[in-house]
Amino acid sequence: MGYSPSPTPPPPDPQGAVQPPLPVKMVVAGGFGVGKTTTVGSISEITPLTTEASITSVSAGVDDLAHTPRKTTTTVAMDFGCITIDPTLKLYLFGTPGQDRFKFMWDDLVQGALGALVIVDTRRLDDCYVAVDYFEAKGIPFAIGINAFEGQVTHTLDEVRWALDVDTRVPLFSFDARERGSVRDALLTVLKVALARTTAA
């Protein structure tokens, strides 16, 4: 399934009527427990749609809870929220499930997405390789946000970039998934990368 960017804005109404904002789809991805649901919930202007299920003793044996001992639920389908950037642009956010067993859903979730925010937990860098490889293979513009758990990251940005082996043109930054302003800045970074790619194309 190929990359399909969002449509171009509709032409101005000759009658001067106010046009609705352009809808833009953006994906929030990453490994299990990195903060995708929190990210969507922190910024959404509507009550976010979540598909959270309780972590059972069976799934706890499959999913690594070593760094998230207080986590009691997990996304089994997607998270959905939206945020109006300005009168001309509205982002629709789709959070992917993090576990490998739900990766079959990704192709449907990313269809039509303009870009993606890949969230990383520096305590578990291995968990984000799949997401980085996925968006590189699909040719979908993305940025990497390091979620600062407990307000800290365990590796420098340069160390993370080296470990992930991503191009220097891919933005990489730290942010706090709990803070609305921090999430806003992260999404705007993705938007800039995506628009730059669209303009160049």
Contact 54, 72 (CB under 8 A): yes
Q: Considering its fold, how many domains does the chain have in total?
A: 1
Specify if 6 maps to a domain.
no
Domain that holds residue 87: 22-200
Give mean pLDDT, residues 50-73.
50
Contact 66, 55 (CB under 8 A): no
* 75 has a pLDDT exceeding 60: no
User: Picking from 19-33, 38-52, 69-83, which range would have the lowest pLDDT averaged per residue?
Assistant: 69-83
- What gap in Å lies between CA 161 and CA 173, rounded to an integer? 10
Give mean pLDDT, residues 48-56.
62
Q: What is the largest CA-CA distance in the chain?
A: 61
- What gap in Å lies between CA 7 and CA 51, rounded to an integer? 28
Specify if 77 maps to a domain.
yes
Specify if 166 maps to a domain.
yes
Specify if 85 maps to a domain.
yes
Specify if 81 maps to a domain.
yes
* 123 has a pLDDT exceeding 90: no
- Structure confidence by residue, pLDDT tens digits, 92-108: 999 988 556 556 678 88
Give mean pLDDT, residues 171-197.
95
CATH code for position 174 = 3.40.50.300
Give mean pLDDT, residues 175-197.
95
Specify if 16 maps to a domain.
no
Residue 102 CB partners (closer than 8 Å, separation 6+): 76, 77, 96
Specify if 109 maps to a domain.
yes
Specify if 14 maps to a domain.
no
Report strand pairing: 142-147 vs 172-175.
Answer: parallel
* 28 has a pLDDT exceeding 70: yes
- Residue 77's pLDDT is 56
Q: Using 50, 70 and 90 to split pLDDT, how confident is the model at 111?
A: very high
From residue 121, alpha-carbon distances to 72, 103, 104, 137 in Å are 18, 19, 22, 22
